[in-house]
Chains A and B, each alone.
Chain A
């Protein structure tokens, strides 16, 4: 047991937690912003699948990860806008739109992958792992001075470009929500759309902006999956990270910092699972750990929320009684 713990207390283990958390962080930020705008995007999973595919393919054809990344982002944004069209214009229940995107994201991506590779490579491929070389992946970055720091350097330095971007976006998203007019409009729209529209804020525009933002973040998440986490796209590679992000959003109290921390908790659960299988445990027993942790996390969050509400009420009663005296 002690021996196992010793294996955990390594820079590599903490490094892997961060690495594993990245796509969840991106998706969580996506979930946070749309939730602030007053709705839920459960299609993050599907959006990431499409972005992961398009990113890896374009990276291969263009011979550059940069174009691949751009393609992944564009895919995320365009598809999320299409989701917005169905939800806001055609009044489809946004949850059903999300389900549809996820359905297509699973088999539909495989279809596209086969068709496209068949057209260009002359044979239908069920994944793009054969096409993506190390050079076509998004590069890792060693931070000059920090990498020298013992232990800590091993954790912080050497991550993928998108990993640093994920944490940067955590801060940027928070700033966007709380320090810019756009963020103010998003929060107002989510909380009281009538109030927002009564002062000339276009609620529809804000909703489209929010869902496009969620598409952008999914684009980053998807690109990370197929061009950093793994080399190339394969079916169902996102494996529930988009759903876990929905839980992370709730557990983080709908805030960027809390959400990111929750994402890291899930990353920890998964890293732990991987360690378990490394010491000989069946990976099938280790793999469900993050999903189970998600349910437990949701329960803890719900209990805490209920208690807080109760407390708030009794507090209100007490302070009122005091004021009377």
Chain B
């Protein structure tokens, strides 16, 4: 198949998958829409869909109609930061065929460690967040050694192990917060305030956009994308990770150290998730108050699937997910459709994106067409 056709197929396939998911969403919105009559419901569904699809970056008003809303776009960019990191984390691990699902616990642990550094380790501004982020990345890497080494040495399922670790991380953090670290002067369980020096400064904090704030975490995330892409496609380690993912026997036979690479992929995955947690925590919060897993890890898995494990595609996929998530939030606010609709949309898109045979007949048609053309071209050459 020619590259152009391949690309066309990929685009069409993605669009159809998204369309199916939106169709499912529409049906669910219709069911949940308020209204006595069919027409009422239909109208409410339309309103909700408008919020879902256009709301994230447009504002509706009675007299001016649709107007672009920069604040909301910035909100989406801000929401992309943690999920870009978990997306990259999952990309690296899935590329090596390691179904490590620990990004979820990893990002929580990363956020927690960053908070601790921000509170208890006074450092000069500028260096403070940097040290915090490096430390939380390292901390999560160290924790990921558990599933990684168990997989490499004993062939223990990294998936089950990492899932268990998610729960353990969550409970241990909650325990530490409850017992030792909570600010007792507050009604809810939250940490003391971060030191001023630890904050990741805002890149955009224009009072014109009321409350809109985008920290330097965003360009940092994009730099991470670039580095991750270079690592995966332009370095010998990333190359080994990908080859192991495609054919482990081939990698072993070629002289690559399979065990080491399996461990490496999960260490890097852990680092990315941890760093993401730290950046999210230091950029958006002033105290640590998470009392449950944040869900960014699971979104990261969806993003990796949407991006086809290609780091360069992660920002696009993350934008898409952040957009949808924002849309769902708006729907919840303005159309009273529960925001968890996002999970169902996410699941459906995920399923169709990962389906090998989805639209395979259409693909086969393209393949045949290419083959025919090639034959015709070969025939023409012969006649010449």
Residues of A within 8 A of B (CB): 42, 86, 89-93, 95-97, 99-101, 103-104, 106-108, 110-111, 114-115, 118-119, 124, 239-240, 243-244, 246-247, 250, 282, 284-285, 287-288, 291-292, 294-295, 298-299, 302-303, 306
Contacts and interface: CB of A to CB of B under 8 A. Distances in A.
Interface SS of chain A: helix, strand, loop or mixed?
Answer: helix
B168 A292 contact: yes
Contacts of B28: 111, 115
B376 interface: no
B343 A106 contact: yes
A246 B157 contact: yes
A115 B350 contact: no
Contact of B338 (A99, A115, A294): A115
B14 interface: no
B74 interface: no
Given A114-B340, A284-B178, A302 B150 contact: yes
A90 B357 contact: yes
Nearest to A303: B154
A295 B146 contact: yes
Given A107-B344, A115-B338, 11 more contacts: A90-B352, A93-B354, A99-B301, A103-B298, A107-B340, A111-B344, A119-B31, A124-B336, A288-B172, A298-B156, A299-B156
Interface in B145-203: 146, 150, 154-157, 159-161, 163-165, 167-168, 171-172, 174-175, 178-179
23 contacts: A86-B351, A90-B352, A90-B356, A92-B351, A100-B348, A100-B351, A103-B343, A103-B346, A103-B350, A108-B343, A110-B340, A111-B340, A111-B344, A119-B31, A240-B164, A240-B167, A243-B163, A292-B164, A294-B160, A298-B161, A302-B156, A303-B154, A306-B154
Interface SS of chain B: helix, strand, loop or mixed?
Answer: helix
Contacts of B171: 284-285, 287-288, 291
Interface residues of B, number: 49
B256 to A, nearest CB: 23
B338 A124 contact: yes
A236 B178 CA distance: 21
A91 B359 CA distance: 11
Nearest to A285: B175
Nearest to B153: A302
A265 B369 CA distance: 59
A295 B301 CA distance: 22
A288 B176 CA distance: 13
B302 interface: yes
A291 B343 CA distance: 25
B60 to A, nearest CB: 24
Contacts of B350: 96, 99-100, 103
The 5 closest A-B pairs by CB, nearest first: A107-B343, A91-B356, A90-B355, A111-B340, A284-B175
